[in-house]
Amino acid sequence: MSCLMIFGKKYMDEDLGLNELVKETMFIAARPNLGDYIPFLGVFDLQGLSRRMKELSKPFDEFLERVINEHLHKVNEQNQAKDIVDKLMGIMNSNEAVFEFNHHHVKAILLAIYYSNSTDTSSTTVEWILSEVLRHPDVMKKHQNDIERVMVIKEGFRLHLVAPLLIPHESVEDLINVWAIGRDPNVWPEPENFKLERFLECNIDLRGHDFQLLPFGSGRRSCPVMQLGLTIF
């Protein structure tokens, strides 16, 4: 599904091993790293995490090269819908970008979008939301007409974020604890309770305009596939 949305084509995992590649990458990224706790040890890579990450980057780089080459050589029909790769290649070839934008930038953006969309971020969030709804049948019955509306998604995002901390900006020492924001009793009465009615007459937005709820972050460093995620939800 991710490949179809991003690259305009399904790629068989048996051929490319993409699922296993993503799973191992995320497994390594989630492992405790000594360098995060004792910074001067980071340069020694005692656990071999950086080395393994570099090894995993090679097959994925080859895959992205294959995708881009396929798009360079294909002839689009006039009415054929273009995918994200086509759009990025169009920007690169137009020379209209006000900043440097080349082949490597295209691969970097595709990598970010693919990993953001292919990891268990969306599926985990949906599972947690369904778990909360099933654990609170009284809430589900009370809000039966609203169950498919945005309130369920917002309350689910408030309680179960994809990650507890936002991606650091230039300063890697100041991290935004969005998990704590979503459970701040000064903002959310009874923060540990699953209550859809808190969003009944509330215009809090999911796109980072309201700092009480930041599932995708805010500003220029927000989630690169935010719109895609909202469309799926």
User: Residues 212, 127: one domain?
Assistant: yes
Are the CB atoms for 170 and 218 separated by under 8 Å? no
- The pLDDT of residue 185 is 92
Q: Is the pLDDT of residue 94 over 90?
A: no
- The pLDDT of residue 81 is 57
User: Residues 111, 135: one domain?
Assistant: no
Pick from 117, 133, 167: which residue ends a domain? 117
Q: How many domains does the chain have?
A: 2
User: Residues 194, 101: one domain?
Assistant: no
Average pLDDT of span 52-78: 82
Average pLDDT of span 163-191: 77
- Kindly give the interhelix angle for 121-135 and 150-159, rounded to the nearest 10 degrees: 100
Lowest average pLDDT, out of 41-55, 72-86, 162-176, goes to 162-176
What's the rounded Cα separation, in Å, for the pair 162 and 179?
9
User: Residues 48, 13: one domain?
Assistant: yes
User: Residues 82, 148: one domain?
Assistant: no
Pick from 117, 148, 177: which residue ends a domain? 117
Lowest average pLDDT, out of 40-54, 162-176, 182-196, 217-231, goes to 162-176
Average pLDDT of span 144-156: 67
Say whether 223 counts as a known binding-site residue.
Answer: yes
How much is the pTM? 0.57
User: Residues 80, 97: one domain?
Assistant: yes
- The pLDDT of residue 1 is 59
Q: Is the pLDDT of residue 48 over 90?
A: yes
Least Cα distance to 115 among 233, 230, 6 occurs for 6
Are the CB atoms for 150 and 156 separated by under 8 Å? no
Q: Which amino acid would we find at residue 111?
A: L
- The pLDDT of residue 16 is 60
Q: Is the pLDDT of residue 210 over 80?
A: yes
Count of alpha carbons within 13 Å of 59, Cβ hemisphere only? Answer: 14
Pick from 117, 149, 173: which residue ends a domain? 117
- The pLDDT of residue 23 is 80
User: Residues 17, 70: one domain?
Assistant: yes
- The pLDDT of residue 186 is 92
- The pLDDT of residue 45 is 92
Whole domain around residue 197: which residue ranges?
119-232
Are the CB atoms for 204 and 213 separated by under 8 Å? yes
